[in-house]
Chain A
Amino acid sequence: MDKNLKKEGRRDFLKKSTALAALTIATPAIIKAGENDERIAALFEKIPLNLEVNGVVHSLSVEPRVTLLDLLREQLHLTGTKKGCDYGQCGACTVHVDGKRINSCLTLAVMNEGKKITTIEGLADGDNLHPMQNAFIKQDGFQCGYCTPGQIMSGIACINEGHANSREEVQEYMSGNICRCGAYPNIVDAVMQVKKEGSNHD
């Protein structure tokens, strides 16, 4: 966020601050707090954001309150990343930011200035699936498929972090990704398969 504000430039920021002050002074009692909040938000609406998603650089203008998850799903139309709770409790929205797994619902889009994001859509090389994607199909590591992108992103990270040395360890480090269809044993099989093959990559 800090980085982003610096980039925006002092002049822009001052302009907005002045407008904000004018707004609060000019309409002391008439506007209710809620409306005021919204007008304040509107002033800061167009914050520039540059980030790379699956190798594509995007130069965007986003509201500061937009989460990375909603940016991906609603503005970039990358709906492979799923919303399962929006509170960081289920792992369905797991993506990689600079190679590390995070819950994209718990980070604001603007906090990712200059970062490299990889989503489920960025894993396969054309028709060649990532080994983790193949392993999930082979081991039947899903049923409905909704938690699957998050599980796959987590599975790749789990191995990269060095947390796939035993079934028990994989179970522990994959427990942030809930699967309500209950495919857990097959998910562990898939991660173990990729670990064993030594075929994991980002």
Chain B
Amino acid sequence: MDKIIEQTDIDRVDGIQKVTGTAKYSAEYDFPGMVYGVLATSNITKGIINAIDTKAAENAPGVLAVITHLNCPELPGYKSTPEQDKLVPTKKGYKVFADNIIRFNGQPIAIVVADTFERATHAASLIKANYTKEKHNTDFDEAIKSGTPLEGNNFKEYVRGEANAWINAPVKIEAEYTMPIEVHLPMEIHGITVVWDGEDKVTLYEKTQSLSGTQRNIVRTFGLKEENVRIITQFIGGAFGSAFNTWPHSMAALIAGRKVGKPIKLMLTRNQMFNLVGYRPEAKQKLGLGASADGKLMGITHEAIAMTASYNEFTEGIVNGSRSLYECPNVNTTYKVFPLDLSQPTWMRGPGETTGAFALESAMDELAYALKMDPIEFRLKNYAETDLERKKPYSSKYLKECYELGAEKINWKERNPEPRSMKEGDWLIGYGTGSGIFSAWRGAAKAVAKLLPDGTMILQSGVTDMGPGTATAMTNLAAETMGLSHTKISFEMGDTNLPPGPMQGGSGTTSTLGTAVFAACENMKKKLAAMIKDNAVFHTEIVHEVKVEDLVFENGYMMLKTDKTKKISYAEVIKSAGLSELEISEDSKGNPMLNHSAFSYAVHFVKVKVHSKTGVIKIDRAVSAVDAGKIINNKTAESQIIGAVVGGIGMSLMEEGVIDHRYGRWVNNNFADYHVAVNADVPNIEVLFVDKPDPVLNPIGAKGMGEVGIVGFAAAVTNAIFHATGKRIREIPVTADKLI
């Protein structure tokens, strides 16, 4: 890319809206006659509803409707085909109000619609159900002991070279690592506003990371035409993976809104956020690692066990990182999933890899100590120059640079490698490291660029932004590519009426949408150049017909490379052509990456302090060095890594979903009892980018960074705790009681 003007680090383009409170999230729209939906939920975990008494709720003041499985309208998407009937329960899914079966505690059994939020909330409390209870199991340990894991293609064993080769290595370790349920808990409670126009046309304001996915689900469920389902998502108050699915509460609001024929708003409660919009599944992992005496890996065996809901087969790549992060001839992995009587898990930031890297990177540290080798040196010794799993070269890999940058920043060399050897008063000091890997990819996306006669540009794409700053990055990219001040560019998004953009997630939005925006700008420049090729402004003795390569594009002008005084503004070109706008529509294809493997990398370094008497743990410093390809906007990119690290602090030290297995109910489903990192828990976080473009994945050189910033972080913390205390804690979160 021709860099014409330096324009990185622009402030967020939606900053003013966010700091003034004018940014609108999904439950913040107002329409005349707005009504409120509130869910009533089951208080048993498994069984059937025999009867449900809604009379009191229906008679309560202001109540317009109560919908349960008994009066839920028949929906096209609720009818199952004979093939679907034959599926195992974990492939069947669950549809709200479709039947009388209770699959998890807190499952919606009714939606109450009333004219005020308070009246709806009160009426929902009046609903009484009579159940026949069945024996439930929400206990992961119990399921592993006596249950049956799911079967199918997602659970095939992977073997490269010889299985379990680590056992015969001269230096080896075997250890089991456990982690609990973690919950996304974005600050914006999932909410939706639904406005039906008759029975067949609907507009909804929904918290979704995928406009087209949500549109598709609603089209299918309600049997509507695609053009009659409009989704608007202007702002998302965080999601981290919780907003891909079209969840039961959204369907309930749609059903209820159509029934009462009024605009309806529904916001979950914070308690409901724990079991109605997914979570990261609990996992147990066993790692066997063996190396030669000089530290060459000879075998990796990674066995992971996780859980899912009885009605939904959720799988993720927990063991995938172990196949490709290091050069090792013998690798085998297994992955088992047990169904439980809980609500369904879903993707959560760095899905799979984050869980897997906690185990792999802890085991790598354990083996480094067994080898009496420096943990970084050990990793460098086993550096993978090619992807041995896929037998392909990497599109780009600057993991080595990440090790070097991070180690230097935290002064890794100065640490005394001996565990429990460093102290500051009563505090034990420890340094630890952990690495992360996450797939980089590029999908298909459409984007439109419009240049207007006043010299401003509008970009459009149906993408949503949960916080990373997609609109900012795209504005930044377009400004640089077009040679136009970012203040003259606006980015319109968050609406299915716009050209379909990619989903927001999977660390692929910038790569995918950036490709379309870049191409639209490049084609815009070609078009502009073609429009003025004969313009007398550019004529010199030798130039009579200018080509795009003869021009520079700068500050809204096309200038002759050889003589910048010869110039014409974009605005002038549009105006003199008599156009109301010049539009470029770009339909960019995905990159299947047939000949390369693409990953982003991160290496985390952590300094912890552990109080020798109380076991209190403080993260004193965190340094994360990241290879995410070219950085489009340093400011927002840095924030994204800081945010991922903060998530990692919560994961390693605090976050733990607790369920009372006697009743199958959540114990700590609120912010007072489920601890997330708060301001005082977080040190200064130093972020370093390699910032080298990937030459293969896309023309802008960006890989992805949303996920990789949390992958491997928990291991960096537990490894630092080991270094500080000499105690190896293999169960996160590491709380003080585990250290004393």
**Known contacts A120-B21, A137-B11, A182-B646; A84/B672 CB under 8 A:** no
A150 shortest CB reach to chain B, Å: 9
B708 shortest CB reach to chain A, Å: 15
Chain B 183-216 interface 0/1 with A at a Cβ cutoff of 8 Å (1 = within):
0111111000000000000000000000000000
**A184 to chain B: which residues have CB within 8 Å?**
642, 646, 677-679, 682
Q: Is B21 within 8 A of A146, CB to CB?
A: no
Q: Is B238 within 8 A of A175, CB to CB?
A: no
How many A-B residue contacts, CB cutoff 8 Å? 201
The reply to whether the CB of A37 lies closer than 8 angstroms to some CB of chain B is: yes
Q: Is A187 within 8 A of B679, CB to CB?
A: yes
Closest partner residue, chain B, to A67 (CB atom): B118
Q: Is B118 within 8 A of A80, CB to CB?
A: no
Closest partner residue, chain A, to B122 (CB atom): A38
Stretch from B368-376, B463-471, B533-541 at the A interface: B463-471
B422 shortest CB reach to chain A, Å: 22
Given the complex of chains A and B, what is the CA–CA distance between A194 and B237 in angstroms?
25
Q: Is B19 within 8 A of A152, CB to CB?
A: yes
Given the complex of chains A and B, what is the CA–CA distance between A200 and B187 in angstroms?
26
**Residue of B61, B236, B685 touching A38 (CB-CB under 8 A):** B61
**Residue of A78, A140, A182 touching B645 (CB-CB under 8 A):** A182
**B189 to chain A: which residues have CB within 8 Å?**
83-85
**A138 to chain B: which residues have CB within 8 Å?**
11
Given the complex of chains A and B, what is the CA–CA distance between A181 and B530 in angstroms?
45
Q: Is B469 within 8 A of A90, CB to CB?
A: no
**Known contacts A140-B636, A178-B676, A180-B187; A79/B642 CB under 8 A:** no
The reply to whether the CB of B640 lies closer than 8 angstroms to some CB of chain A is: yes
A166 shortest CB reach to chain B, Å: 12
Stretch from A1-9, A10-18, A19-27, A69-77 at the B interface: A69-77
Closest partner residue, chain B, to A144 (CB atom): B467
The reply to whether the CB of A193 lies closer than 8 angstroms to some CB of chain B is: no
Please provide the chain B residues from 100 to 120 with a CB less than 8 Å away from any CB of chain A in the complex.
116-119
Please provide the chain B residues from 679 to 697 with a CB less than 8 Å away from any CB of chain A in the complex.
679-685
Given the complex of chains A and B, what is the CA–CA distance between A148 and B639 in angstroms?
14
Please provide the chain A residues from 41 to 73 with a CB less than 8 Å away from any CB of chain B in the complex.
41-42, 63, 65-66, 70, 73
**Residue of B30, B116, B643 touching A143 (CB-CB under 8 A):** B643
Q: Is B237 within 8 A of A79, CB to CB?
A: no
Given the complex of chains A and B, what is the CA–CA distance between A146 and B60 in angstroms?
34
**Known contacts A145-B237, A146-B188, A177-B679; A83/B267 CB under 8 A:** yes
Chain B 5-25 interface 0/1 with A at a Cβ cutoff of 8 Å (1 = within):
000000110111111111111
The reply to whether the CB of A104 lies closer than 8 angstroms to some CB of chain B is: no
Q: Is A183 within 8 A of B642, CB to CB?
A: yes
Chain A 120-136 interface 0/1 with B at a Cβ cutoff of 8 Å (1 = within):
11011000010001101
The reply to whether the CB of A117 lies closer than 8 angstroms to some CB of chain B is: no
Q: Is A92 within 8 A of B679, CB to CB?
A: no
Closest partner residue, chain B, to A188 (CB atom): B679
Given the complex of chains A and B, what is the CA–CA distance between A177 and B671 in angstroms?
11
Given the complex of chains A and B, what is the CA–CA distance between A118 and B636 in angstroms?
30
Known interface pairs A63-B116, A89-B671; 12 further A-B residue pairs with C-beta atoms within 8 A, sorted by A's residue number: A32-B56, A38-B61, A78-B21, A83-B189, A140-B11, A144-B188, A170-B679, A175-B679, A175-B680, A179-B679, A183-B642, A185-B684
Chain B residues with CB under 8 Å of chain A are 11-12, 14-25, 28, 30, 56, 59-61, 116-119, 122-123, 125-126, 184-189, 235-238, 240, 267, 269-270, 466-469, 635-636, 638-640, 642-647, 670-672, 676-685
Chain A residues with CB under 8 Å of chain B are 32, 34-35, 37-39, 41-42, 63, 65-66, 70, 73-74, 77-87, 89-90, 92, 119-121, 123-124, 129, 133-134, 136-138, 140, 142-149, 152, 170-172, 174-188
Q: List 18 A-B contacts (CB under 8 A).
A: A35-B56, A35-B59, A35-B126, A38-B119, A65-B118, A89-B672, A120-B21, A142-B12, A144-B188, A146-B238, A171-B679, A172-B680, A180-B184, A181-B467, A181-B643, A183-B643, A184-B677, A184-B682
